[in-house]
């Protein structure tokens, strides 16, 4: 984990912020450098020496039944959407229908999707999380096809955030399970894997973006604008926001931006899409990266401490086996860090899927091997 997280911090945080840096943002940029340095410092003070990366491939594994049930429930809860997608696909007007839905949603005309629709979204997240924990067996390919099918259905709504969050959930679980393999990969392998992941995320983005275009639009020009707005603009948007940051902007509710879903589920009034559009050199955007959530919720000092501890514990659990309870918090930290643009725990369905998947994995693995929980905790203590 440690090796790839350091590369992600470099390529998805440090370099993009450096690209959009201007003199007027120098204090904010300096504070970010301190934060990122805290991570690397926490990472290097633990000496791994001759220690070998932990093999988590058989740790907290899922099974075929859980994946099958999650997929079936997704189809049942979103049966109307699935039916509409295939109806319009066979009618040849899927793109037009998808675009109409997107326009209605952005104009505020879309009705509340309802409880069953949200339960279907929860099942999508649950499926992605469980897929990242399963050992490769003869049905593994079918489960990959199942995930692609879900993404096809979700992409028809031209909403990217949910699909993106599901991919992050899958990637987070794979980072843990493939810890030993990842740590031993060559730099060339990392480049190849990075290209594949980039192409996968780009496909999700481009499919949605292209389907929003009218026939007369200049595709390449529009895509150029969208890439600026979604991939580069958010980093400058954070600079602009932080330059105008005051103590009044400090969120009064603890960890509100990082764990908005907790407040939603406990009945607090939460405004959807609370970030207004802001103008950057790359277009208008209402995405400010996860750094805004950290600064607004924790301030600089506690963000600095958090980055230091994150670097420390990522290195620690790369070479020292984590137990069940530590795993729960590690996966939360990975999901927040990897999402980059915002916290996935803004979505109530994602938070619930994280909790439910943990309970399912805990019960499944604790039942498998006669007091496996106690064995797992003892292993962690003795390593």
Q: What local confidence, expressed as pLDDT, does residue 218 receive?
A: 53
Residue 211 lies in a domain: no
For residue 132, the SS3 value is: coil
* Average pLDDT score over residue span 176-205: 78
Residue 158 lies in a domain: no
* Average pLDDT score over residue span 137-159: 85
Q: What local confidence, expressed as pLDDT, does residue 348 receive?
A: 94
Residue 200 has pLDDT above 60, yes or no: yes
Domain region containing 257? 2-56+217-346
The pLDDT tens digits for 47-65 are 777 788 999 988 999 999 9
Residue 195 lies in a domain: no
Residue 9 lies in a domain: yes
Of 225, 205, 172, the C-alpha closest to 339 is 172
Residue 11 lies in a domain: yes
The CA distance from 135 to 60, in Å, is: 10
Q: What local confidence, expressed as pLDDT, does residue 121 receive?
A: 94
Confidence of residue 251 (pLDDT cuts 50, 70, 90): low
Residue 130 lies in a domain: no
Confidence of residue 122 (pLDDT cuts 50, 70, 90): very high
Residue 148 lies in a domain: no
Number of domains in the chain: 1
* Average pLDDT score over residue span 11-36: 93
Residue 332 has pLDDT above 90, yes or no: yes
For residue 215, the SS3 value is: coil
Residue 268 lies in a domain: yes
**371 to 55, 155, 320, 363, 379: CA distances (angstroms):** 20, 43, 21, 11, 13
Confidence of residue 103 (pLDDT cuts 50, 70, 90): low
What does pLDDT average to over the chain? 83
* Average pLDDT score over residue span 145-171: 86
For residue 278, the SS3 value is: strand
Q: Tell me the pTM.
A: 0.87
The CA distance from 237 to 196, in Å, is: 28
Residue 370 has pLDDT above 50, yes or no: no
Q: What local confidence, expressed as pLDDT, does residue 38 receive?
A: 95
């Amino acid at each position: 984990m440690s090796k790839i997280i350091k590369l992600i911090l470099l390529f998805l945080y440090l370099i993009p912020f450096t690209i959009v840096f201007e003199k007027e943002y120098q204090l904010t940029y300096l504070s970010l450098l301190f934060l990122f340095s805290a991570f690397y410092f926490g990472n290097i003070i633990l000496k791994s020496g001759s220690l070998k990366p932990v093999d988590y491939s058989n740790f907290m594994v899922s099974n075929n039944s859980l994946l099958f049930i999650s997929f079936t429930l997704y189809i049942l809860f979103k049966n109307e959407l699935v039916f509409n997608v295939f109806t319009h696909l066979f009618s040849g007007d899927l793109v037009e229908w998808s675009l109409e839905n997107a326009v209605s949603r952005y104009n505020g005309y879309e009705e509340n999707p309802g409880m069953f629709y949200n339960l279907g979204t929860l099942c999508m997240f649950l499926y992605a999380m469980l897929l990242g924990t399963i050992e490769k067996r003869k049905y593994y390919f079918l489960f990959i096809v199942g995930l692609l099918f879900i993404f096809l259905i979700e992409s028809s709504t031209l909403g990217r955030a949910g699909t993106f969050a599901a991919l992050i959930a899958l990637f987070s679980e794979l980072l843990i399970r493939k810890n030993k393999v990842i740590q031993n990969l060559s730099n060339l392998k990392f480049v190849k894997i990075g290209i594949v992941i980039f192409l996968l995320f780009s496909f999700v983005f481009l499919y949605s973006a292209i389907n929003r275009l009218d026939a007369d639009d200049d595709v390449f020009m529009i895509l150029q604008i969208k890439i600026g707005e979604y991939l580069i603009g958010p980093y400058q948007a954070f600079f602009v926001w932080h330059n105008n940051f005051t103590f009044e902007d400090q969120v009064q509710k603890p960890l509100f931006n990082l764990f908005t879903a907790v407040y939603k589920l406990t009945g607090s009034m939460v405004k959807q899409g609370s970030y207004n559009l802001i103008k950057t050199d790359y277009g208008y955007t209402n995405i400010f990266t996860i750094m805004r959530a950290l600064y607004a919720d924790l301030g600089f000092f506690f963000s600095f401490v958090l980055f230091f501890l994150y670097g420390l514990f990522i290195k620690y659990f790369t070479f020292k086996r984590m137990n069940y309870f530590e795993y729960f918090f590690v996966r939360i930290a990975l999901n927040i860090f990897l999402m980059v643009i915002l916290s996935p725990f803004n979505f109530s369905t994602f938070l619930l899927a994280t909790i439910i998947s943990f309970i399912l994995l805990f019960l499944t693995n604790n039942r498998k091997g006669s007091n496996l929980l106690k064995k797992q905790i003892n292993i962690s203590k003795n390593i």
